[in-house]
Amino acid sequence: MKSGRFVFIVLLLTLLTSCAQLATRNTAFLEGQQLIAQGQLDAGLRKLEQAAYEEPDNREIRAVLTRQREMIINYIINEAESARSAGNLDVAEQKYRHVLEINANSERARAGLEVLSLERYQQSFIKQARESLARNDVEGAEAAVRAVLQENPMNGDARQLIKEINQRLTRAEEPGLALITAFDKPITMEFRDASLKTIFELISRAAGINFIFDKSVQQDSKTSIFVRENRIEDVLKLLLMTNQLAYKILNDNSLLIYPDTPAKQKDYQELVVRSFHVINTDVKQMVAMIRGLVKAKDIYVNEKLNLFVMRDTLEAIRLVERLVAINDFPDPEVMLNVEVLEVNRNNIAKLGINTPNQITYSPAPGLPLGIATPVPFDEITMGLKNFSIPNQVVIDLRKDLTFNDLLANPRIRVKNREKAKILIGSRQPIITSNVTGTAATVSQSVTFIDVGLKLEVEPIISPNDEVSIKVMLEVSSITAFETGTSGSRFPVVGTRTAETLLSSRDGETHVLAGLINDDDKRSLGGIPGLLDTPILNRLFGNQNLNRQKTEIILLITPRVVRNVTQPTKLESEFYSGTANAAGRLSTYIRKTLPQSLALAPSGPASTARSVFGEVQPPTEPESAPNPFAVAAAQTSASSPSLSLLAPATVAMDREFTATVRLVTQKSNLVNELNLAYDKDMLEVLDGGEKSGVRTIKLGREQPSGMTAVLRFKAISPNPGTTEIAIQSSTTQDDKGNPVEVNLPPPASIEIH
């Protein structure tokens, strides 16, 4: 007896210990969950890790730790993404590194840090572009912004900057002559029926520009030109365009001139390869548009990556960039807030006396049927006395009222011109039996039909936030079941359909109602004869009333989530080049003075006049009229003369040019002169001795021609005034006879 009690006590203690162990939880585990619920994510996660370390075999702790760690990582990464979108790159980096402290193998955090590094690199270019714009260096800002857009076309800062740059950019986007200082100088030239070679030689001497000609260029073709204080860039543009020539930049002061023909363009025109990632538009549609507008030379489409690679001139690439930018917009989207209310009202009433509708009789039990056996008469009468009435008299006094309201409030986001479907209901199976073959093999197939409320919408979003919605509402229900010839039952589905086109503004609510189904069934039953009597049919009859009313109400509210951003006039309208050169902007000549620019190709004229031209460095706006033109007018009726032109003021340590010209209508004169200057204040930069005197030879056959341009530098340590003068001059004709020439006054130069 004592041993039995001992065993019972031991079993009881063991059971209590097991229950205590099941009820006891890890303290660190409970504290960790509580800290996470309070928002202390790091502390709570450390407690959970401690609990997992204390109980490595506890599956519940390990599952909770894994789930909570993943939730915390997702939360921190979402915060990092929000900070990065707001431009707080430092905060985003801290968040990503925090994730790596939790999970060193997080691929999302590593990818986020790489994106931050790229954005910082792009921000440096954007900063550089803003600084360039502040210095009015539009070309430098453009190059920096395009470097960012090529890597990240959706960079908001870069897209905003390129809009500002396009508003301030008034010339072709290719590396043009304006980027080079040598072509930015003003020039004055006067030529009649001069050869291209002569004009280019004088421009070369005046601006220090090297010209290299293709062998097909007709350098002897004649051109008349008159320009005054126009930039060399503008003069070259017109000179090349009127003579069907093109150029290629070799370096800062060298140009290659070649005929502007398709064959030569293939030889000299450099092509650029650029890949375009199309984000929101079908790449095939984009390429079809580009091929139709730009006539691209080479283009390759990668449908898998939704990009295309193009090889063409830089001007065409720039044109395609703008076309892609104004066509690759995300589709508009609308959020449809739909409320569907289905109201069912059922009124069922049964009232009156339900009398039996049949009386049956049968032979006595044990008497066989269908067998003609002779029986006594009394047994026949005994077999007819078993009568029965299966239905007793029942009085119905019952009325049922049923109210059923079904409310559905789905919200669905739809792209522009895309269909969306909503189904609230069930799918009912329909079994179909098929008999095949001579053996009458029966096979069954199951198809499903949608029963309930089905809504199909297709929004069309206009740029002014008006939404047109094609709505198709269908309400179906099973009204009855039919039995087929094979014994299978299939449902009979009743359907109500409404289809319309709604038009509303953003946020307006439309109500679609009136889908009402009202069934009213009345029946009256009773004893024949009494049922036809007006009063007795109510007293001894049975009435059944069944009225069902169903109404569907649809409320739909569109809210535009995103619409197409309308491009500005500058973005949607721009020059596209010529028919033969896509992307090349029109030749733009800066504002000139009246009667200061004239250019006309003369062709190979047999009666060409002598060269009557001049190249002039920039002068002050308040300077006197062009002395070369004055000297030319005087020379037309008098003896030849020399002209000397130099700037009136020069800054210390600055370079300038002095021009000496022999003005005459006789082409057979040769002049030799000595040009004197103060060697302590001025220095000649064209080489030779720096003795203060420079010997110059002028003539049609001389290397310098009729005009000599000398480059000086003001080396005076102090401000002052100096002169450049023609010290002596001798002029002879082709027979060696001396010719009298008028000498100009010294050119006075003030150094400041």
> Cα separation of 267 and 135, whole Å?
37
pLDDT band at residue 574 under the 50/70/90 scheme = confident
User: Domain check: are 32 and 153 in the same one?
Assistant: no
With CA atoms as reference, report the closest residue to 84 among 123, 45, 38, 53: 123
Tallying the residues shown for the chain, one arrives at 752
pLDDT at 10 > cutoff 50: no
Query: 740: domain CATH number?
Result: 2.60.40.680
Answer yes or no: are the C-beta atoms of 295 and 287 closer than 8 Å. Answer: no
Lowest mean pLDDT segment, chosen from 197-211, 256-270, 433-447: 433-447
Of the three residues 268, 290, 313, the one that is the final residue of a domain is: 268
pLDDT digits 0-9 by tens, 542-570: 778 888 877 778 888 898 888 887 776 66
* pLDDT tens for each residue of 390-416: 556 677 666 677 766 666 788 888 999
Is pLDDT above 80 for 688? no
Measured CA to CA, the distance from residue 267 to residue 617 in angstroms comes to: 35
Most confident of the following: 18-27, 33-42, 415-424, 522-531: 415-424
d(CA 169, CA 146): 14
**661 and 715, same domain (yes or no):** yes
- Whether residue 622 has pLDDT greater than 50: no
Sign of CA dihedral 617, 621, 626, 627: negative
Asked whether residue 648 is domain-assigned, the answer is yes
pLDDT, greater one: 423 or 582: 423
Q: Is residue 89 part of a domain?
A: yes
* DSSP reduced 3-state for 168: helix
The residue to which tokens 């910082």 are assigned: 120
| Dihedral pair phi/psi, residue 647, rounded to 5° | -65, 150
Count Cα atoms within 13 angstroms, Cβ side, for 433: 12
Chain centroid to CA 238: how far?
A: 38
Q: Report the CATH number that the domain containing residue 185 is assigned in CATH.
A: 3.55.50.30
Q: Which residue has the higher pLDDT, 272 or 138?
A: 272
**Has residue 53 been placed in a domain?**
yes
- The domain boundary, picked from 233, 268, 303, lies at 268
Q: Please provide residue 406's backbone torsions phi and psi, each rounded to the nearest 5 degrees.
A: -115, 120
Which CA distances in Å does 502 have to 428, 611, 630, 724?
Answer: 31, 79, 80, 87
Q: Name residue 404's beta-bridge partners.
A: 344
In a shared domain, residues 632 and 694: yes
Q: How many domains does the chain have?
A: 6
Residue 732 lies in a domain: yes
Rounded-to-integer distance, Cα 665 and Cα 705, Å = 14
Q: How high is the pLDDT of residue 670? A: 84
Task: Check: CB of residue 662 under 8 Å from CB of residue 679.
Answer: no
**CA neighbor of 571 nearest in space, from 165, 193, 269, 191:** 165
CATH number of the domain enclosing 281: 3.30.1370.120
Mean predicted confidence (pLDDT) in 602-623: 39
Once rounded to an integer, what is the mean pLDDT over residues 191-195?
78
Do residue 634 and residue 659 come from a single domain?
A: yes
Give Rg (Cα) of the chain.
51
User: SS3 letters for 198-249?
Assistant: HHHHHHHHHHCCEEEECCCCCCCCEEEEEEEEEEHHHHHHHHHHHCCEEEEE
User: Which amino acid belongs to residue 39?
Assistant: G
Amino acid (one-letter) located at 527: I
Six-digit token string for 293 = 């507008």
Tokens (6 digits) for 724: 């450049």
- Better-scored residue on pLDDT, 458 or 495: 458
Shared-domain flag, residues 475 and 354: yes
Band (458; pLDDT cuts 50, 70, 90): very high
pLDDT digits (tens, 9 = 90+) for 370-388: 555 555 545 555 555 555 5
Residue that has been written with the tokens 């006590």 in this structure: 9
Instruction: Round the average pLDDT of the chain to a whole number and report it.
Output: 76
Contact in structure between 334 and 623 (CB atoms under 8 Å): no
Q: Please report which confidence band the pLDDT of residue 284 belongs to, taking 50, 70 and 90 as the band edges.
A: very high
Give the whole-number percent of the chain exceeding pLDDT 70.
75
pLDDT at 621: 39
**3 burial via Cβ count (<10 Å: 0-12, 13-18, 19+):** exposed
Burial class (CB in 10 A: 0-12, 13-18, 19+), 252: exposed
Predicted pLDDT at 321: 85
Residue 17 has what pLDDT? 44
Q: Which of 3-12, 174-183, 295-304, 433-442 tops mean pLDDT? A: 295-304
Structural domain including 454 reads 337-366+384-562
The answer to whether residue 503 is domain-embedded is yes
For residue 673, what pLDDT is reported? Answer: 86
Give bridge partners of residue 397 from the DSSP assignment: 351
User: Please, what's the b/e burial string for 109-148 (b: 16 or more CB within 10 A of its CB; e: otherwise)?
Assistant: beebbebbeebeebbebbebbbebbeeebbbbbbbbbbbb
pLDDT, position 346: 79
| pLDDT > 90 in the chain, percent | 4
Which of 377 and 723 is assigned the larger pLDDT?
A: 723
Residues 389 and 452 grouped into a single domain: yes
Say how far apart CA 78 and CA 98 lie, in whole Å. 12
Q: Is residue 594 part of a domain?
A: no
Nearest CA-CA partner of 51 in 31, 72, 22: 31
Strand partners, 474: 454, 497
Q: Report CA 249 to chain centroid distance, whole Å.
A: 33
Q: How far apart are CA 553 and CA 407, in angstroms?
A: 10
The 10 Å Cβ neighbour count of residue 496 is: 15
* Domain shared by 261 and 283, yes or no: no
Residue 249 CB contacts under 8 Å (≥ 6 apart), including other chains: 175, 177, 180, 255
- How many Cα atoms within 13 Å fall on the side-chain side of residue 508? 11
Do 89 and 120 contact (CB within 8 A), yes or no? yes
Please tell me whether residues 558 and 452 are part of one structural domain. yes
- Same-domain status, 181 and 162: no
Contact (CB, 8 A) for 44 and 68: yes
From 520, 540, 562, the end of a domain falls on: 562
pLDDT in the model for residue 287: 92
Instruction: For tokens 């049927």, name the residue.
Output: 369
- Which phi and psi (to 5°) does residue 597 adopt? -145, 125
In a domain, 276, yes or no: yes
Q: What is the pLDDT of residue 361?
A: 58
Do both 349 and 281 map to the same domain? no
Would you state the pLDDT for residue 309? 94
Please state whether beta strands 747-751 and 720-732 pair in parallel, antiparallel, or not at all (unpaired): antiparallel
Top-confidence residue, 125 or 154: 125
- Does any domain span residue 94? yes
- 296, 402: one domain: no
In this structure, are 318 and 262 located in the same domain?
no
Q: Is 384 exposed, middle or buried (0-12, 13-18, 19+ CB in 10 A)?
A: exposed
pLDDT of residue 438: 63
Q: What is the pLDDT of residue 619?
A: 42
Burial label for 276, CB within 10 Å (0-12, 13-18, 19+), is buried
Instruction: Give the integer Cα–Cα distance in Å for 715 and 507.
Output: 77
